[in-house]
Amino acid sequence: MKKLLIGLSLLGLTNLLYPHNANEVIVELLLEENYITPRNSAYFLIAQENSPSGLVKSLQNSAAEFDPKKYEWADPQATFYEITFKKGSGTIRATYDNSGNIINTSEKYDNISLPASVRNSIWRRYEGYYIMRNSYELSYSNGRKTKAIYKVWLQRNGQNKRLKLHV
């Protein structure tokens, strides 16, 4: 019953379908609820390895658990589905195959809590600077190395620096 209610609430927030051709379905979701057990465990384990904040983990959990075949808009003839998950300052664009497995994701999060190790490393090297803003980007593709990048903008006495940290 809980999954049905969650599914209906997700469906209610869906910007419905944007089919580009007969074998492609694109949907955008705004999430309010999180799932409990990840369906795509390979993606989930890799993505969560470097996840810095609760927002990132929550959104990744939703993408890992999502199964497009459960919805009435699912087309049994579709070869893949493109789903966009949005929550707060985070966005995940995930591509699923027709079995509901994640093929790849492109993720971006703005102004999140940086992990202590990243923050401390920045403060040691750039003493006196403060963090103005940041972003975290993750690119996952099944069978390839995951790319995670922090972009951090620093400022001190009117002097700006932009850092790009590969994790």
pLDDT tens column, 4-55 = 444 544 444 444 434 445 556 666 666 555 544 456 888 888 887 766 788 8
Cα–Cα distances (Å) from 38 to 52, 142, 147, in that order, read 18, 16, 21
Cut 0.95: pTM above it: no
Contact 63, 48 (CB under 8 A): no
Instruction: Report how far residue 34's alpha carbon sits from residue 6's, in angstroms, rounded to the nearest whole number.
Output: 9
Sequence-ordered list of residues with C-beta below 8 angstroms from that of 48, at least 6 positions apart, any chain: 57, 60
